[in-house]
Amino acid sequence: MGCFVLTVSDTRTPDTDTSGRAIRELLEAAGHHVTGHLIVRDEPDDVADHVRARLDDAATQVVITTGGTGLTSRDGTYEAVSALLDKRLDGFGELFRMLSYQEIGAAAMLSRALAGSARGTAVFVLPGSEHAVRLAMTRLIVPELGHVVQQVSR
């Protein structure tokens, strides 16, 4: 699958973007192709614009974002991306929070991770924590990515 990785952060740089790097490495290790990656500030309009651009890219079947899913005033990824979705995959967020709860307890409820489809593209919105990214990628996304893309493209 062709996958684009978007890191949403006001502070990450290419050198400190461990979450985005982890996503790319896990995708490539599973045989997927990373069509590109970018770091963008946590500005909802900018996030939405970059995701929209990937939805128009024929080489990209999957967009994965990391960061901006918390509750602070600067966390706007959830709102920016959820407004673009045609369909939501509610089970993704539910399963992610369940798995997170097993590791970090009640703080898992603070995650607004989500997934869905937009214009025939699978979209996953992950927290900015490298540990959370690795959990979502290894337990949920990588094992089902082919199936999700097949369903979204029908």
HEC string of 86-130 equals CEECHHHHHHHHHHHHHHHHHHHHHCCCEEEEECCEEEEEECCCH
Ordered per-residue pLDDT tens for the chain, 154 residues: 999 999 999 999 999 999 999 999 999 999 999 999 999 999 999 999 999 999 999 999 999 999 999 999 999 999 999 999 999 999 999 999 999 999 999 999 999 999 999 999 999 999 999 999 999 999 999 999 999 999 999 8
Distance of CA 67 to the CA centre of its chain: 8
The CB-side HSE value for 88 (13 A sphere, CA atoms) comes to 14
Q: In this structure, what DSSP letter does residue 14 have?
A: T
Whole-structure pTM value = 0.97
Domains and CATH numbers, the chain: 2-152 (3.40.980.10)
With 0-12 / 13-18 / 19 or more C-beta atoms within 10 angstroms meaning exposed / middle / buried, residue 18 is: middle
What is the identity of the amino acid at 152? V
**Which residues have CB under 8 Å from 26's CB, separation 6+?**
134, 137, 138, 142
User: CA-to-CA distance for 65 and 12, rounded, in angstroms?
Assistant: 13
